[in-house]
A and B are shown apart, each in its own frame.
Chain A
């Protein structure tokens, strides 16, 4: 098939926009429902994230004059675009194309929404937004080291930066270690409970999002949902090697991908419901002192395997 067409189909249909946007709402609902069930509540109805999104689209926004206002409006759109692009890059279906080094592009696109959040908080000029952005920046410096080291260790053990090759690799002790390290980083990447301090509602209102309203906020919600899809999807593709190749059909691969992603969402939601928010110093210390050791171990053993065995 024409590689251009394949790439377009991946970006727009599966696992791109047409799949990713409903999946984003579904994952947001699963997270809220799981937290509600853990607290012995009934929780929101199935369509709730969709209704929230529609309602926000119909609300007015305060006037934002000048170039600062334009920049402020642009951040959520950039975040949505990059998160959707990250979902589109995931190697879900067999022989779906891809290129050498698309792992690096995926990591960059996964990182862009949190950079947008930091910039949005500062450009909103709200004191709460600035505090939230500073926290997000500190947190992102901490977890990203571990996150990147874990992914690089997996890639180094496979001698490739190509996502499709990583998705089809045989699981080894090293990759399991790497996946666990990625899972530990996900709560901070998705701002859920033990590491939810950039948008700690009881302290700084909504953090970087404080000044956003209406359609802009809807875009932030969508970007957050797409981040969920991309991050859990990355874990799902790494966890299940050969899903596509061993069983052949694309349909089965797609279903398994969704099921695994939902399992990761459930795991993270239960963690979020069971824990309380950590302060910024404890969060940073957690990543720099407790988790970094494992990431360094993973990457050094990966390099050892690569060059000496």
Chain B
């Protein structure tokens, strides 16, 4: 049983599949995500695959400052990702709403609506930083599988609708590293 658990953890660490969600981003971070998968950086050597359907994904990669129009979509897609799952916020927008702060068309930052595990700051972050963030999220998934079988609770049971009190969710910050 323990062997099975360890095998599962290794598998989770080695096979992070992404679903990319744009919540009103300027497209800068999205281009950098694509660059991370391109031949120059080749995230597939770490097992990273970009999936077409949120049902197939382990890690939800969110860009953009979460506009009013995008809130429900973000929550729906988060619930569609099957557990165990992690969320990576790409860029400064989902972390802080960046230069759009206090705009009346926004309801960000992202962690008001779904629990965020890893923040990758930058406007936009470099592809290396994005890959580092995704790998960090994959390690988190593996550690969580080692400690408990259940992932973070679904949004419906999250009483306040906020993830700030979810202390089991790590908030590893990946800093931008110049190559």
Residues of A within 8 A of B58 (CB): 55, 59
* CB atoms of A40 and B39 under 8 A apart: yes
A143 contacts partner chain B, Cβ-Cβ < 8 Å: no
In the complex the two chains form, is A43's CB within 8 Å of B44's CB?
Answer: yes
- Looking at the complex, which one of B12, B55, B56 makes contact with A62 (CB distance below 8 Å)? B55
* Partner-contacting stretch, out of A147-155, A211-219, A237-245, A261-269: A211-219
Total interface residues on A, CB under 8 Å, equals 34
**Given known A-B contacts A41-B42, A61-B82, A214-B82, A206 and B47 have beta carbons under 8 A apart:** no
User: Contact size class for B?
Assistant: 20 to 34
B24 lies within 8 A of chain A by Cβ = no
The answer, yes or no, to whether B45 is at the interface (CB within 8 Å) is yes
Contact present for A59 and B15 (CB under 8 Å) = no
| Pairwise interchain contact A44-B44, C-beta atoms closer than 8 A | yes
Report the bound CA distance from A51 to B45 in whole Å.
13
Tell me the bound Cα distance from A44 to B83 in angstroms.
Answer: 24
Q: Does B8 contact A (CB under 8 A)?
A: yes
* B122 interface hit (Cβ, 8 Å): no
**What 1/0 mask marks residues of chain B from 1 to 33 whose CB sits below 8 Å from any chain A CB?**
000000110111011010000000000000000
**B145 interface contact, C-beta 8 A:** yes
**Distance in angstroms between the alpha carbons of A205 and B80 in the assembled complex:** 14
The answer on a CB contact under 8 Å between B52 and A206 is: yes
Q: With contacts A209-B53, A212-B55, A213-B82 known, is A44 near B45, CB below 8 A? A: yes
The answer to whether the Cβ of B84 comes within 8 Å of any Cβ in the partner chain is yes
Query: Smallest Cβ distance from A270 to chain B, in angstroms?
Result: 16
**A210-B82 Cα distance, complex, nearest whole Å:** 13
The complex places the Cα of A32 from the Cα of B11 at a distance, in Å, of 18
10 contacts between A and B (CB under 8 A): A36-B44, A48-B47, A51-B11, A52-B15, A54-B15, A55-B15, A58-B11, A59-B82, A62-B80, A202-B52
- Taking Cβ atoms with an 8 Å cutoff, the residues of B that contact A are 7-8, 10-12, 14-15, 17, 39, 42, 44-45, 47, 51-53, 55-56, 58, 80, 82-84, 145
A residues at B contact (CB < 8 Å): 32, 36, 39-45, 47-48, 51-52, 54-55, 57-62, 128, 201-202, 204-206, 209-214, 217
